[in-house]
Chain A
Amino acid sequence: MGLRATDLTVGQQFETVVVDDLKRTQIVQYAGASGDFNPLHSDEVYAREIAGYPGVFAHGMLTMGMTARALTDLLGDGRLLRFGVRFTAQVWPGDTLTVRTTVDGVSDEDGVPVVELSVVTTNQDGTDVVSGYAAARLDA
């Protein structure tokens, strides 16, 4: 079951915490599942001594994947039409991420009601880590 256009108003906002105190283990899980074994994300020694970072950090795609969960929880399963983000800051172990979704508008695409959304994920300091957009099919 999804949302209807009448459930939404322009400017309406939704907020979801998608991770509280991100663990290195979850980053390792994501490396294994996605197949992206870049040692920047899973190898603390490499990240510090070779790459010069304070330590490992999350794959951008892990943050995007967690952000997607906030969207599908809100919009229903299998309803996304478009989803895109820019990666604006790194996500570190220990971070708590909140996804804020804003309704930009509801339109009609080939007779199907579609909601357009802005999406911003921020860390516990209020820094944006990803920002982007999504569009999803609504129930008629």
Chain B
Amino acid sequence: MAAERFPVEAGHVMTFARAVGDPNPIYADTEHAAASELGAVIAPPTFAIASAQFDPDYPLRPTPGQEWYGSGGGPGLTRDGAGGLHAEQHFIYHRPLRVGDVLSVHTRSGEPWEKSGRSGRLLFTEQITEFRDQDGELVVTMRSVGVQREAAS
């Protein structure tokens, strides 16, 4: 469940930088970027997470013809397995992502673990995602940790 091919596109980088409230011209202005030491428009540090846009099966996006659990006429649906939250996020940068890069994405699951919290057992899962560029070089390594509370028995 990941994008196989993640093209780093100018409009996507610009709207992502706007969404995190970052007006830095290095993310949008081609002339400014060309004159900088980087020489090209780059993506903000957390941009790799937006590879979800290119994941055909990303579950947190409505798909035409399939049931979506958000509100419409009614308030929405309780979803199986819902209630998980994002616990940690880590990035290792081998170089900045540049507009024009076409990345390949490989995700694997790490070993799950458990912790006893005040209100019950917490279940942690992690996913490690590697982004490689058009030359096969590793560009970004991303680790995401999710946590879910085990239903009290």
| A residues apposed to B, CB below 8 Å | 1, 18-19, 26, 29-30, 32-39, 42-43, 45-46, 49-51, 59-62, 64-66, 68-69, 71-73, 77-78, 80-87
B15, B42, B55, B76 interface centre (most CB from chain A within 10 Å): B76
Contact of B88 among A18, A77, A87 (CB under 8 A): A87
Which residue from chain B places its CB closest to the CB of A48 in the assembled complex? B75
| B residues apposed to A, CB below 8 Å | 12, 15-16, 18-22, 24, 26, 36-38, 42, 44-46, 49-50, 52-53, 55, 58, 60-62, 69-71, 75-78, 82-83, 85-93, 95-96, 143
Question: Is B87 touching A86 in the complex (CB atoms < 8 A)?
Answer: yes
A33 to B21, CA, bound (A): 12
Which residue from chain A places its CB closest to the CB of B91 in the assembled complex? A83
Shortest CB-to-CB span from B19 to chain A, Å, is: 4
Shortest CB-to-CB span from A18 to chain B, Å, is: 7
Provide a sorted-by-A list of 24 A–B residue pairs whose CB atoms are within 8 angstroms. Answer: A1-B37, A18-B21, A19-B21, A33-B50, A34-B52, A35-B60, A43-B70, A45-B71, A50-B71, A50-B78, A62-B19, A65-B16, A65-B22, A65-B45, A68-B44, A69-B21, A72-B44, A77-B42, A78-B26, A80-B45, A80-B93, A83-B93, A84-B88, A85-B88
Question: Is A69 touching B22 in the complex (CB atoms < 8 A)?
Answer: yes
Residue numbers in A under 8 Å from B42 (CB-CB):
77-78
Question: Is B86 touching A87 in the complex (CB atoms < 8 A)?
Answer: yes
Question: Is A35 touching B19 in the complex (CB atoms < 8 A)?
Answer: no
Question: Is B21 touching A84 in the complex (CB atoms < 8 A)?
Answer: no
Contact of B46 among A43, A61, A78, A86 (CB under 8 A): A61
Residue numbers in A under 8 Å from B71 (CB-CB):
39, 43, 45-46, 49-50
Question: Is B91 touching A84 in the complex (CB atoms < 8 A)?
Answer: yes
A35 to B83, CA, bound (A): 19
Which residue from chain B places its CB closest to the CB of A69 in the assembled complex? B22
Contact of A49 among B37, B44, B76, B92 (CB under 8 A): B76
Shortest CB-to-CB span from A66 to chain B, Å, is: 5
Question: Is A69 touching B88 in the complex (CB atoms < 8 A)?
Answer: no
A64 to B26, CA, bound (A): 19
Shortest CB-to-CB span from B48 to chain A, Å, is: 10
A30 to B52, CA, bound (A): 13
From known contacts A43-B71, A62-B19, A77-B36, infer whether A33 and B45 are also in contact, taking CB-CB under 8 Å: no
Residue numbers in A under 8 Å from B15 (CB-CB):
29, 32-33
From known contacts A33-B19, A64-B89, A72-B24, infer whether A50 and B77 are also in contact, taking CB-CB under 8 Å: yes
Question: Is A81 touching B93 in the complex (CB atoms < 8 A)?
Answer: yes
Question: Is B60 touching A38 in the complex (CB atoms < 8 A)?
Answer: yes
